[in-house]
C-alpha cells in the first residue's frame, strides 16, 4: 500500500480518536433539547419526583437547557420548567439513563433559584 493512500486513513483515525477523547468525562451540552428522547427523560424526572415528593403534583412544561455526561450509561442534567397548578418554576433534574439495562434512575431534583 502506498503512503499516499494511508494519509486519508490516518487522518480519519486521528479525528475519530480526538472526538472520542472529547466525549469522555465531563458534561457536554445537548444540542437538541426538544428531541423526543430528552423530553421523555424530563417527563420521567417529574413523574418520579411526584411519586417521591409529599403531595407533589408538578406538570412538565419544557426543557430549558440540558447537558449529558457519558458514564456507565448517560447522566442527563436538565433544567426544566414545571407547573404546580398555580405557578411555574424552574428545576434541575439529574437522571441516570442506562438503555442497555432498560433502566432510569432519578438521582436528584431541586428547584433552581434566580
The hierarchical CATH code for the domain 25-111 is 3.10.450.10
Read off the pLDDT of each residue in 32-49 and give the average, rounded to a whole number: 97
Alpha-carbon span 94 to 96, nearest angstrom? 7
Question: pLDDT exceeding 70 applies to what percent of the chain?
Answer: 76
Give the mean pLDDT of the chain. Answer: 84
Domain ranges of the chain: 25-111
pLDDT digits (tens, 9 = 90+) for 60-81: 999 999 999 999 899 999 999 9
Burial class of residue 102, CB neighbours in 10 A (0-12, 13-18, 19+): exposed
pLDDT of residue 55: 78
Residue 46 predicted with pLDDT over 90:
yes
Alpha-carbon distances of 43 from 36, 58, 103, 106, rounded to whole Å: 10, 10, 15, 11
Residue 24 predicted with pLDDT over 50:
yes
Amino acid at each position: 500500500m502506498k503512503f499516499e493512500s494511508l494519509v486519508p486513513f490516518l487522518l480519519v483515525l486521528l479525528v475519530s480518536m480526538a472526538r472520542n477523547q472529547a466525549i469522555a468525562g465531563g458534561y457536554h451540552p445537548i444540542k437538541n433539547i426538544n428531541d423526543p428522547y430528552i423530553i421523555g427523560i424530563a417527563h420521567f424526572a417529574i413523574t418520579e419526583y411526584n411519586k417521591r415528593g409529599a403531595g407533589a403534583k408538578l406538570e412538565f412544561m419544557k426543557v430549558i437547557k440540558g447537558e449529558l455526561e457519558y458514564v456507565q450509561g448517560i447522566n442527563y442534567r436538565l433544567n426544566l420548567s414545571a407547573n404546580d397548578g398555580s405557578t411555574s418554576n424552574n428545576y434541575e433534574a439529574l437522571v441516570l439513563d442506562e438503555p442497555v439495562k432498560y433502566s432510569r434512575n432519578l438521582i436528584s431534583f431541586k428547584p433552581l433559584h434566580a
